[in-house]
């Protein structure tokens, strides 16, 4: 069954047996969110886990494992931290530090479209020079025995012939798999992700391809796998609203419920809204214990801002999170708010 929907080309020497993973997201893909998402992963399912992007110019000087971006739970498996950089020495120093920390692989960011990345020639800027991008992959591969992947966009103009030769260059340089987010640099995260590009690029390389962009519900995962032939789907923003997409997918693939959970995955707008409330209460606890009151509150607010766009009156919930000054007060406000008759909608326009 699993083969039938994805993972046709094995990722991580067949250790991965689940066709969805979480996307790297600055300020979101931290230990607290990974723990929450993992709590909805079906028992026995194995997937890969990201960090938010980590600068190779900073990592070698940092106390990796203690910074908010690199905190991790003991025993967290298949962690693939994402690096941002373009110079061999900082890359190899960072890879070493990350391997000591427990990285199972290294992902290279070739998608970040912010001005700083463009100015310093990393992130999506690397897509402006295919030879240089391949050199960055080569330098990373030379620094580690672990799998090296690249997460890229549709470049600057989304021209498919350029993209095909670009991904072939990354493959020749030693990339073990590629994640394609088919939006151009200019689109940032708005507009439609053009899934047809995932299909075309998947057919252009022999390494596995992970498709990313616009997954909002479990059905979208199956649709992306079948429409594009990609080997795995990656979901970002939607998992901040309904992390139990993982459980819903697991049910359809015949996996048992997540450890510690019984019955069926939440389904339907009302039931899912109630589950979203419960998930937010868990997040309150996670961010407080992982980051403390002040930083924890900032992480919680950002998490609510991202996910509440799927909730009826989600902007009121976000306003409450901004108004209250402690996690404990936000917690009480969440409990009150979810006494209303709320719906978690299936689809919304993704703007952020
Ligand atoms: C707040 C935020 C931060 C992001 N940070 C990163 C990042 O650090 N590295 C990266 O490769 N992509 C980053 N992305 C892009 C996501 O990984 C993903 O490609 C994008 O959100 C599309 O997927 P989605 O529609 O499932 O959210 C970020 C996205 C968001 C919303």
Residue 80 contacts residue 54 (beta carbons within 8 Å): no
Section 258-270 average pLDDT = 97
Q: Which residues are catalytic?
A: 112
Q: Cα(276)–Cα(327) distance, rounded to whole angstroms?
A: 17
- From 20, 21, 22, 24, mutation site for ligand 1 pocket: most ligand atoms within 8 A of C-beta: 24
Residue 102, pLDDT > 80, answer yes
Q: Cα(333)–Cα(296) distance, rounded to whole angstroms?
A: 16
pLDDT per residue over 146-160, tens digit each? 999 999 998 788 789
Considering the domain 2-253 in this protein, what is its CATH number? 3.20.20.70
Q: Which ligand 1 atom is nearest residue 23's CA?
A: 17
pTM exceeding the 0.75 threshold for the entire prediction: yes
Q: Is the CB of 151 under 6 A from ligand 1?
A: yes
> How many Å lie between the centroid of ligand 1 and the Cα of residue 74?
25
- Sequence-separated (6 or more) residues with CB below 8 Å from residue 149: 80, 105, 106, 107, 108, 175, 176, 177, 178, 179
Q: Is the CB of 23 under 6 A from ligand 1?
A: yes
DSSP state at residue 103: -
Residue 318 contacts residue 304 (beta carbons within 8 Å): yes
Domain locations along the chain: 2-253, 269-337
pLDDT for residue 45? 96
pLDDT for residue 113? 84
Residue 151 contacts residue 48 (beta carbons within 8 Å): no
Ligand 1, atom 10: closest residue by C-alpha: 24
Q: Is the CB of 237 under 6 A from ligand 1?
A: yes
Burial 195-211 (b: 16+ CB within 10 A, else e): bebbbbbbebbebbbbb
């Amino acid at each position: 069954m699993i083969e039938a929907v994805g993972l046709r080309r094995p990722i991580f020497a067949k250790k991965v047996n689940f066709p969805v993973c979480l996307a790297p997201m600055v300020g979101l893909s931290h230990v607290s969110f990974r723990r929450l998402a993992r709590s909805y992963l079906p028992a026995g399912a194995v997937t890969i886990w990201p960090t938010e992007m980590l600068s190779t110019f900073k990592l070698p000087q940092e106390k990796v494992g203690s910074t908010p971006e690199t905190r991790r739970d003991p025993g967290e498996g298949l962690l693939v931290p994402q690096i941002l950089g373009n110079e061999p020495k900082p890359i190899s120093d960072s890879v070493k530090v990350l391997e000591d920390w427990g990285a199972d692989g290294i992902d290279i960011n070739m998608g970040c479209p912010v001005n700083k990345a463009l100015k310093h020639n990393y992130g999506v800027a690397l897509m402006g020079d295919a030879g240089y991008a391949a050199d960055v992959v080569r330098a990373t591969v030379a620094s580690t025995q672990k799998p090296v992947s690249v997460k890229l966009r549709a470049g600057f103009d989304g021209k498919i012939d350029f993209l095909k030769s670009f991904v072939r260059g990354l493959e020749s340089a030693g990339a073990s798999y590629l994640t394609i987010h088919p939006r151009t640099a200019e689109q940032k995260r708005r507009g439609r992700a053009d899934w047809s590009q995932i299909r075309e690029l998947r057919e252009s390389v022999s390494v596995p391809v992970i498709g990313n962009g616009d997954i909002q519900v479990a059905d979208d995962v199956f649709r992306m796998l079948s429409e594009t032939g990609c080997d795995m789907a990656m979901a970002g923003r939607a998992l901040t609203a309904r992390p139990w997409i993982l459980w819903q997918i697991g049910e359809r693939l015949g996996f048992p419920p997540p450890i510690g959970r019984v019955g069926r995955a939440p389904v339907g707008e009302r039931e899912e809204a109630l589950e979203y409330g419960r998930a937010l209460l868990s997040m309150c606890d996670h961010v407080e214990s992982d980051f403390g009151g002040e930083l924890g509150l900032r992480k919680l607010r950002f998490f609510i801002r991202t996910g509440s766009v799927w909730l009826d009156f989600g902007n009121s919930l976000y306003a409450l999170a901004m108004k209250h000054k402690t996690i404990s007060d936000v917690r009480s406000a969440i409990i009150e708010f979810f006494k209303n008759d709320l719906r978690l909608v299936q689809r919304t326009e993704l703007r952020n």
